[in-house]
Structure 1
Amino acid sequence: MAVLMAVVLAPQCVASEQLRERIEALQAGYAAAAGGEPLIATRALGDFYEARGYTRAWIRPELQDAWMNVLEGIASDGLAPRDYHAEALARLLEDDGASLAPESQADLDLLLSDSFLLLASHLLDGKVNPETADPEWKADRHERELYKMLAQALDSGNLVATVDALRPSQGGYLALRSAHSRLAAMANMAWPPIPDGPSLRVGDSDERLSAIRQRLRLLGDLDAPEAGEPVADNYDALLESAMKSFQRRHGLEDDGIIGPATLAMVNLTPAQRLEMVDLNMERWRWLPDTLGPRYILVNIAAFELEVVQDGQVVLEKPVIVGQPYRRTPVFSDQIRYLVFNPTWTVPAKLIVQDKLPQILQDPGYLERLGFQVYQGWGTDRRRVAPAGVDWTRVSARNLPYQLVQAPGPQNALGQVKFMFPNKYDVYLHDTPSRELFAKKARTFSSGCIRLKDPLELAELLLKGKAGWDDARIRSVLASRATTTVLLDHPMPIHLQYWTAWVDGSGTLQFRSDVYGRDPAVLAALHKARTPGTAAQ
């Protein structure tokens, strides 16, 4: 019996020795591979195997099978199984894993562990680090000791439950995950571009309308035809209604006219839509574990603000965001106070780039719009007359002045601003240029977010605060005195950039990538990881 046990245990001992040698090489800083593939989560692998005395972790076949099933399903998260050694693992598991040579057993164990640690890090924090691709994007990182989670999952056998707990649990993410599954079924469908031509209106006849009608049915905007109903080449009222719905969920003018912009969205293939869903799921993985029971969400790409309470949208407003060359950044913070009748101190960059050309062209510009000019800063600054400044000598290198706009109907910040102090100097505020809210694409600001009907948000935030009913707000506004009000309970605010999402009615929405942020994320999602880049 002793001889038999020695024969059985010998391969296990050899496999453990193989594990020890490779992990020690990793810890010494050398690259290591298993099954012909590089190991990625190098530090976490070292911690995991060192903690278990370099013994194999994946001996039980049911654990191996469970993990392969997990990898088969992760495409619904917009992630590729090949990034987690799925093909190499399948090759090693073609035969009974227990019959593998000791070196291959070590390969199998290392690849399974690396696969778990890598996928866990991607579900938890995203595959892409947004801050390396976009300096205007601040992500929330989640601190977890993933090697301990792996040990617990293997001990309990609950690999699937562990993975489910790692992916975002918010309804927005899960809805996109369902949308991925629906679009994936169409991804390989032939979708030849419908050619350009004259804009189409109700009553028109055009051979392209048959293809357009079919596309809207496939995308769910138009009901399937009744039995025996002919496919018409004329633009009827039923198609117009479906087209308006399609336009609304793509952020287009819902006039029913099929022009170039609408046709471009109709020509967006299921595979392209799938990529948009995938990269926006990735953006969800950059968010905090919870947005809060009550919060403000600004979708920059959709030019919309929502106030959400207990999962329900209680206020929805259009917003104006930064111009493409002054993009509104992405981050989460808290609104801590409001300022009624705010003054506006013009940032130095805007003085030179925006205001100086107007001052030189129109000497009365500053006085007419209520700007005061100060020389110097802080307590030493002194007010000077605009006419006494030689504006031709002012430049980015020679700017000893401040411009401060007094409260009033022409103040650039309007009647109220909502402050969440941040390094970008971005906040929400009113605007006197209210006509711009009628535009569909609203990229007009210098980075801050202008809000339509901001007093509704102010009233909502101050509801229940002693002494701040609607009458008090109106009285303060009428006084034109700058008044700061601290919130008793700061309101979480999340500035996000989603070009695909599922709204509260279950409709999959798409928007144009107005800042050109999508390609970098998509390229990074498709890029293979290199050793040491996984969350540890």
Structure 2
Amino acid sequence: MDIGKRRWRWAFTLLAILLGIASRASGAPEQSLVERIEALQAGYPVQVLGDPILARQTLQRFYENRGYRLAWVRESRRQALADAIERLPRDGLNPADYHGELLQELVRRPEATLSEELIADRDLLFTDAFLLAGSHLADGKVNPESIHAEWTLTGRKTDIVPLLSRALDTGTLAQTLDDLRPRNADYLKLVQARERLSRLLGQPWLPIPDGPSIRPGDTDTRLPVIHQRLIALEDLSASASTASDLYDGELEAALPDFQARHGLEPDGIIGRQTLDALNRMPVERIRQIDASLERWRWLPRSLGDTYVLVNIAGFRLQMVKKGREVLHSRVIVGRPYRQTPVFSDRIRYLVFNPTWTVPRKLMVEDQLPEIRRDPGYLDRLGIEVFEGWGADRRKVDPRSVDWAALSKNHFPYQLVQGPGPQNALGRIKFMFPNRYDVYLHDTPGRYLFGRQERTFSSGCIRVEKPFELADQLLANGMDWSRQRIDVLVATGETTTVVLPLPIPIHIQYWTAWVDEQGRLQFRDDIYHRDGRLLNELRHSALADGQLPTPVVVSHASTAERRIHKTH
């Protein structure tokens, strides 16, 4: 080929590229996009550059709204999204689930080296990445109903499509994704704690050997390593000495704090449980944080101006007004085989001096064996026996009942405990009617609040400070005082008080959180729920590489489909 022909060929190629760019800039529909959207509409899986398109319906709607025009024509927009996706680990999300590596490769590839079809493929990938990431940040990646069968909160379903359109127009892609995260301060503090803990990844973390318990004043060869571990975990000052085999000084002050924030008895004794907590790998703690972050994303954008929050795994209750905690209390939750459910509702009324109608399951599984063993059981606890239900029920003498002949399939009675100091509900209960028959209440078993792990109930939540909680609830626009509450309780009469404005209550399950003092707290996974959630959270449809056939793939060349390997 002579020089003249070669020049004409290069000129023609350059002209074609320029005409293609001009066509895309003019707003004309992109045929390659149309073909792929048609495949999605027909129900076919679409795979682009080796990755499946997952945000199928929202992606179709996005391109329909913009007349099938390319969206990611500006390099700055693509770079902004690729960088934002790389920052997702701080929220416990994996960039690989959002085409992370492929986006970075496409950002680095010169525009002039891409075919028209590959540019369309790139557009789909960037759109899919934003829609997926935005949805997961706003509403969570995992369907909570797949983890908690009892979940009843109607989760918000954020419409990401108009947000993406506006972000592309205004160049605010990173800010838009950031705004989709929960704005609750507790979520943001947990994100920051995760970032700090992530710095320990890759550092040596050899297990501290078992041995005799170490008490203040003891000497032990393990103490230098324990010093170093507590410094790494920020429980001990970085300037603290790590050479001493003696348990004294700063270590003696730091150990109880470490124990307390891990849900252990803060006795300062380095025993088996404390060593287990010290030996827990940073990656394990980060996974706990990731599970908690995902659970935060399941919650409403706003918990309410005033609300009650119960953390089952943390055995704690908080009441918050206008962003400020006004009450915290220890609680007792359900046993592992009678777990307290996760749900949100509204506290609607309070009952003072309540009666307790024993739930049928408890009657046949718990009370019936006790009655058979102890004839005076019912009288001692003030429990009356009724035959039938509703207005037609009648009181019967418990001595006339053949308790030995009863069973779970034959139990035509109700057991009702009257008001009094022995009542299982104590002197007050907080009602938010729900299908689990779960509520908050007082309890006569006050000594159980002194235990570190408090799984003793049959599903309801026993509150250590019930009257303080009642005082806060009734102070919300009502003419009540603590003195008036005490007078009402002293009458012994069952009284219902309806709240003029129901107060939101959120019963949740977090094994990691940051407390009001900024300390990162961890608790045992008492119901073994984190593992299943983390498995779902780590699951990646992109990594599976398995799609049902037929599969519509990119029309780009083999070399282009391997761009991330060859560039």
Both structures adopt the same fold (TM-score exceeding 0.5): yes
1:136 aligns with 2:150: yes
User: 1:353-391: per-residue Cα shift (whole Å, max 9, x none)?
Assistant: 110110110111112111111111112211111111111
Instruction: Give matches, 1:310-459, under 5 Å.
Output: 310-459=322-471
Where 2:108 maps in the other structure, the secondary structure is coil
Tell me the amino acid that sits aligned with residue 390 of structure 2.
Answer: G
Moved more, 7-16 or 425-434: 7-16
Given the alignment, which residue of 159, 168, 190 partners 1:176? 190
1:20 aligns with 2:34: yes
Aligned residue number for residue 292 of structure 1: 304
Aligned residue number for residue 87 of structure 1: 101
Q: CA deviation at 1:290?
A: 1.0
Contact 2:225–2:242 (Cα < 8 Å) also in 1 = no
User: 1:26-46: per-residue Cα shift (whole Å, max 9, x none)?
Assistant: 111111111111110100111
| Partner Cα separation in structure 2 for residue 3 and residue 32 of structure 1 | 30
Given the alignment, which residue of 249, 253, 262 partners 2:274? 262
User: 1:255-305: per-residue Cα shift (whole Å, max 9, x none)?
Assistant: 000111111100011111111111111111011101122211111111111
Given the alignment, which residue of 73, 80, 87 partners 1:66? 80
| Partner Cα separation in structure 2 for residue 81 and residue 114 of structure 1 | 13
Identity of aligned residues (%): 53
What are structure 1's unaligned runs of at least 5 residues?
A: none
Contact 1:15–1:103 (Cα < 8 Å) also in 2 = no
| Partner Cα separation in structure 2 for residue 280 and residue 51 of structure 1 | 36
1:125 aligns with 2:135: no
Q: CA deviation at 1:498?
A: 1.2
Instruction: Give matches, 1:31-180, under 5 Å.
Output: 31-180=45-194
Given the alignment, which residue of 503, 509, 523 partners 1:491? 503
Where 2:298 maps in the other structure, the secondary structure is coil
What are structure 2's unaligned runs of at least 5 residues?
A: 1-10, 548-567
| Partner Cα separation in structure 2 for residue 4 and residue 51 of structure 1 | 32
Where 1:26 maps in the other structure, the secondary structure is helix
Aligned residue number for residue 563 of structure 2: none
1:245 aligns with 2:260: no
User: 1:119-151: per-residue Cα shift (whole Å, max 9, x none)?
Assistant: 001001111112112213344422322122111
The alpha-carbon distance between structure 1 residues 65 and 41, as it changes in their structure 2 partners (threshold 3 A), is same
| Partner Cα separation in structure 1 for residue 292 and residue 476 of structure 2 | 36
User: 1:4-63: per-residue Cα shift (whole Å, max 9, x none)?
Assistant: 977634476799211111111111111111111111010011111112221211011111
Given the alignment, which residue of 177, 200, 209 partners 1:186? 200
Aligned residue number for residue 206 of structure 1: 220
Q: CA deviation at 1:447?
A: 0.6
Where 2:87 maps in the other structure, the secondary structure is helix
Q: CA deviation at 1:240?
A: 1.6
Tell me the amino acid that sits aligned with residue 393 of structure 1.
Answer: A
Contact 1:323–1:445 (Cα < 8 Å) also in 2 = yes
| Partner Cα separation in structure 2 for residue 528 and residue 54 of structure 1 | 28
Aligned residue number for residue 8 of structure 1: 18
The alpha-carbon distance between structure 1 residues 230 and 260, as it changes in their structure 2 partners (threshold 3 A), is closer
Aligned residue number for residue 512 of structure 2: 500
The alpha-carbon distance between structure 1 residues 7 and 220, as it changes in their structure 2 partners (threshold 3 A), is closer
Q: CA deviation at 1:502?
A: 0.8
Normalised by the size of structure 1, how large is the TM-score?
0.95
User: 1:314-357: per-residue Cα shift (whole Å, max 9, x none)?
Assistant: 11111101111111111221111100010111111111111011
Contact 1:427–1:448 (Cα < 8 Å) also in 2 = yes
Where 1:236 maps in the other structure, the secondary structure is coil
Contact 2:310–2:506 (Cα < 8 Å) also in 1 = yes
| Partner Cα separation in structure 2 for residue 256 and residue 472 of structure 1 | 43
Where 1:444 maps in the other structure, the secondary structure is strand
Moved more, 9-18 or 400-409: 9-18
Larger Rg: 2
Tell me the amino acid that sits aligned with residue 493 of structure 2.
Answer: A
The alpha-carbon distance between structure 1 residues 207 and 25, as it changes in their structure 2 partners (threshold 3 A), is same
The CA RMSD measured in Å over matched residues stands at 2.1
| Partner Cα separation in structure 2 for residue 194 and residue 426 of structure 1 | 43
| Partner Cα separation in structure 1 for residue 155 and residue 34 of structure 2 | 31
The alpha-carbon distance between structure 1 residues 485 and 4, as it changes in their structure 2 partners (threshold 3 A), is same
Aligned residue number for residue 231 of structure 1: 243
Contact 2:17–2:112 (Cα < 8 Å) also in 1 = no
Q: CA deviation at 1:230?
A: 6.0
Contact 1:187–1:274 (Cα < 8 Å) also in 2 = no
Q: CA deviation at 1:98?
A: 4.6
| Partner Cα separation in structure 1 for residue 370 and residue 342 of structure 2 | 31
Contact 1:92–1:104 (Cα < 8 Å) also in 2 = no
Contact 1:194–1:267 (Cα < 8 Å) also in 2 = yes
Tell me the amino acid that sits aligned with residue 193 of structure 2.
Answer: A
Q: CA deviation at 1:91?
A: 3.0
Contact 1:373–1:401 (Cα < 8 Å) also in 2 = yes
| Partner Cα separation in structure 2 for residue 138 and residue 101 of structure 1 | 49
Tell me the amino acid that sits aligned with residue 402 of structure 2.
Answer: D
Q: CA deviation at 1:90?
A: 2.6
Normalised by the size of structure 2, how large is the TM-score?
0.90
